[in-house]
Structure 1
């Protein structure tokens, strides 16, 4: 079936929907891929006394968290959507008008925002199925417990996604999944990031279906969902008073831990160098040589470039008193030492991630300029110190760590992006392609975001080839920014499908005085990475405090 826009029905439980759902509906209608022809109202399921008690306790928990961390859960605010409908036909499920509209209207897809099992007659008449969001590892279609379970169990990520109910199937098909980083201190922060990000799921995936057709769309679903092996949930008990008290117990522990770190510990991003070895040893910190900068600054995001037989390292330098980063460069010496850093590019906005590449005999650099809402490219006039602005590859975007790759005659641009300021910039990888690296007409990949994981999305350095295979370094930002580093093998890259597989990962946890890393510059004979160096003011006492904190922070087993 070929369509210019899907004829869709919307299922709700009243004239008010959550604010994040309202934003989703706005974006969907603005995209032009959907023509809304019918709205179905269902009666909400009456809550039992126990469920009402749990709801009151959860509301109190959200209120306390919002006051403590100045973060109310705005995404769940009830919002009327009726003014968006125009002359769309509305009806109550099961009523006479409902059946009349079903007979009169041809439906392609149903968007179900209710928390109940989909209506069987809607599943039967919609060839592209009934689409619903799911939240958390229990895959529930209610956002009441999103983020709370993960916080209590000390999970680094909150899972969310889309399911599709199709005629003839006894269980939903999971067609998209994403993860959001939990917040170490606040429940509400993780909830907000999760729900606002979910506003993009249905608009993006319906656009993919419209662009590629059902066959290619279904193949892409298999590619992205098969490694997760999601299954329908088992019924579990509801939260209770004891569970809420257990969650509240985490607050003082988090506060005391944060106070201890601020008083007795200092963390600083530094650079590390090592002789390039096997791919599986790329993040082995004990093999690296430390480059520790002065205590008034940090160094991060290294890129290694060979020029006239010598190696240079380009990186971000941030002086704490200035507050924004600039770009610097050093020359590597034969004995593994390096020259003094020289500032090569400075702007009134933050610069980092100096991706240097060569094209037609000329060196160019794409620094991260998300603070200026651009993807800028600079041309080298005098290597390695003089760089001049060439052009903007993109404008009006918030793109982080743009990374280019030339593959099978096309140029591919990977970048971490977000569509909403309330979301994290590190959890969705977007892919674009063009026939020239200096093009200003980059085509978005239909699978965008091609990776939607807090633990694997954000770029972490130049994509490199080893033994005929391409590997993409990525950051692990699950739980905290710069937690660790991954190496992903690119399995498929074309204009319709992107697929990669995690082959190794590194999560420095304070051993070797390192507590995180997020960029790897692979080169030969020397590779360079960055890491968080921990300055412990209390020496051995600090290590015992860490062990004690881990004991009191054991995950709490709480069901949904």
Structure 2
């Protein structure tokens, strides 16, 4: 980061209105970041203009927020409304300026680099021209009035697979919006829940882009592609929306009751075949079906002494936690060997790998609030705890690779206050190997944001000179709906870039609701698929 000259940031909020959690989080993190300086907080007395919404939308939005999107109040560690509101003094007019009439001269005097707008009302094109990097805002900030927020309604009404969060800028004297960053998130059962969730994710997206700008001072936003939902829903759409949400709640309640009665749990099956990550055809795969007392998911293959073993998450129907089991292939048939690892907490995603002559496993242990590395003492059933990291955090689906002479750790951390989620943020760290004694965060963390690509879905593989990362495609309101194959195009200490080259959806076999994990070794591949919604 540029430590000698932090970005001077202003924030535009609504006067006389309590700050929401996501707004407080942004203010708090700006103050905490050494590469940023909160130079001004402007309070606009007419923040929502003259826009009005129907009483039905206003009443329904409040009811939905209080019942389906409740969250604990965020307590800032650094920001204080007493100390961080700054009146802008305009020497030319000899008066104190409200945000309603901020002038270009006052912004220049404050030496602001940019303003983050959290309200629908802009400071105006001519004033924005005084800001080197313009006025930044989210598309969700535009979908609100003084008494209602309608972000998410259009997506739920349309049955969309995802909802887009867009961070955009207005620069110079142009009214055009320019896209800084975009991320897609899985649909929730209601607009209020979706809006609250995406607002929390917006904090991470904004801070990443501010860090990028502070580091290199390069700003190249692209053309903004407008999206549906800019206008408040009509009365007819609200009535239709009510029926959709009522149906979603009923289905969710039924599934919850079934789970509590221990009569239901997610049922996964495995498929195996011959092929590589770049060319496998899942429609030709052979099923390894589950039994009520042996449900398998998150499969990892491992070659040892001429045999192909399979490590996997194992549980019985109705179980609340899983353990790690191992089997051995004879052709396409899998013979169970035994339990490789069991703990008092849930285990899954048993990433097994070699480092020299030693064998290690990194299972998912986010319920234990840490990452664990286990070393094999006697293959394949005896393991000892080798290292831990990220104590008190919630890492999921972690993998280690060696690339470019360095060890890299990929993991899905959940940066959250109210909504823990492992599907939306991929973090990257340079480490010293399985000991995890030295952990250096990547400069662009989280390197991927959004539920369509971020979550890991298996071992990162090298194939025909390409580095390929399986990732989950969490869309259509379903966890583990699809499987992406991402090509990592750039992996350095300063940069990370990947692109999607393929997506596998559950249509490759009849009766499937999802597929979310892949691994391959020595010409064999394996993936899992979801049998229940």
TM-score category by the smaller chain?
Answer: 0.7 to 0.9
Per-residue displacement from partner, 1:438-490 (whole Å, max 9, x unpaired)?
33322222222221121111000011122111111001111211111111111
User: What is the TM-score normalised by the length of structure 2?
Assistant: 0.86
Superposed displacement of residue 436, structure 1:
3.1
> SS at 2:516's partner residue?
coil
* 8 A contact 2:128–2:170 mirrored in 1: yes
Match of 1:160 among 155, 162, 165: 165
Note if 1:248 corresponds to 2:248: no
Alpha-carbon distance in structure 1 between the residues aligned to 2:436 and 2:251: 48
> How many residues were matched structurally?
513
Map residues 114-513 of structure 1 onto 2, 5 A cutoff: 114-120=119-125, 122-135=127-140, 144-167=149-172, 169-183=174-188, 185-210=189-214, 212-215=215-218, 218=220, 230-232=224-226, 238-254=232-248, 268-277=267-276, 279-282=278-281, 284=282, 286-333=283-330, 335-420=331-416, 421-478=418-475, 479-509=477-507, 511-513=509-511
* 8 A contact 2:512–2:532 mirrored in 1: yes
Alpha-carbon distance in structure 2 between the residues aligned to 1:511 and 1:251: 30
Superposed displacement of residue 171, structure 1:
2.2
Map residues 16-35 of structure 1 onto 2, 5 A cutoff: 16=17, 17-35=19-37
1:52 corresponds to which residue? 52
> SS at 2:521's partner residue?
coil
Alpha-carbon distance in structure 2 between the residues aligned to 1:33 and 1:126: 18
Alpha-carbon distance in structure 1 between the residues aligned to 2:107 and 2:130: 8
Alpha-carbon distance in structure 2 between the residues aligned to 1:313 and 1:234: 46
Alpha-carbon distance in structure 2 between the residues aligned to 1:464 and 1:46: 50
Superposed displacement of residue 265, structure 1:
9.4
* 8 A contact 1:62–1:72 mirrored in 2: no
Alpha-carbon distance in structure 2 between the residues aligned to 1:308 and 1:265: 39
> SS at 2:448's partner residue?
coil
Alpha-carbon distance in structure 1 between the residues aligned to 2:250 and 2:365: 36
Superposed displacement of residue 145, structure 1:
1.6
What is the alpha-carbon root mean square deviation over aligned residues? 3.3
Superposed displacement of residue 295, structure 1:
0.9
Q: For residues 265 and 280 of structure 1, do their structure 2 counterparts lie closer, same or farther at Cα, with a shift above 3 Å needed? A: farther
1:72 corresponds to which residue? 69
Note if 1:89 corresponds to 2:93: no
Q: For residues 134 and 292 of structure 1, do their structure 2 counterparts lie closer, same or farther at Cα, with a shift above 3 Å needed? A: same
Q: For residues 76 and 91 of structure 1, do their structure 2 counterparts lie closer, same or farther at Cα, with a shift above 3 Å needed? A: farther
Alpha-carbon distance in structure 1 between the residues aligned to 2:138 and 2:229: 18
User: What is the TM-score normalised by the length of structure 1?
Assistant: 0.82
5+ residue gaps, structure 2, are: 98-102
Per-residue displacement from partner, 1:24-65 (whole Å, max 9, x unpaired)?
2112212233222222232325665xx5342x3223323454
> SS at 1:199's partner residue?
helix
5+ residue gaps, structure 1, are: 536-560
Q: For residues 482 and 255 of structure 1, do their structure 2 counterparts lie closer, same or farther at Cα, with a shift above 3 Å needed? A: same
Q: For residues 496 and 268 of structure 1, do their structure 2 counterparts lie closer, same or farther at Cα, with a shift above 3 Å needed? A: same
Alpha-carbon distance in structure 1 between the residues aligned to 2:107 and 2:190: 45
Q: For residues 320 and 468 of structure 1, do their structure 2 counterparts lie closer, same or farther at Cα, with a shift above 3 Å needed? A: same
Alpha-carbon distance in structure 1 between the residues aligned to 2:464 and 2:455: 24
Q: For residues 508 and 274 of structure 1, do their structure 2 counterparts lie closer, same or farther at Cα, with a shift above 3 Å needed? A: same
Alpha-carbon distance in structure 1 between the residues aligned to 2:68 and 2:434: 41
Superposed displacement of residue 96, structure 1:
2.8
Superposed displacement of residue 513, structure 1:
2.2
1:106 corresponds to which residue? 111
Superposed displacement of residue 91, structure 1:
4.2
More helix by share: 1
* 8 A contact 1:20–1:76 mirrored in 2: no
Q: For residues 234 and 534 of structure 1, do their structure 2 counterparts lie closer, same or farther at Cα, with a shift above 3 Å needed? A: closer
Alpha-carbon distance in structure 1 between the residues aligned to 2:161 and 2:337: 36
* 8 A contact 1:161–1:201 mirrored in 2: no
Match of 1:36 among 31, 34, 38: 38
Structure with bigger RCO (C-alpha 8 Å, 6+ apart): 1
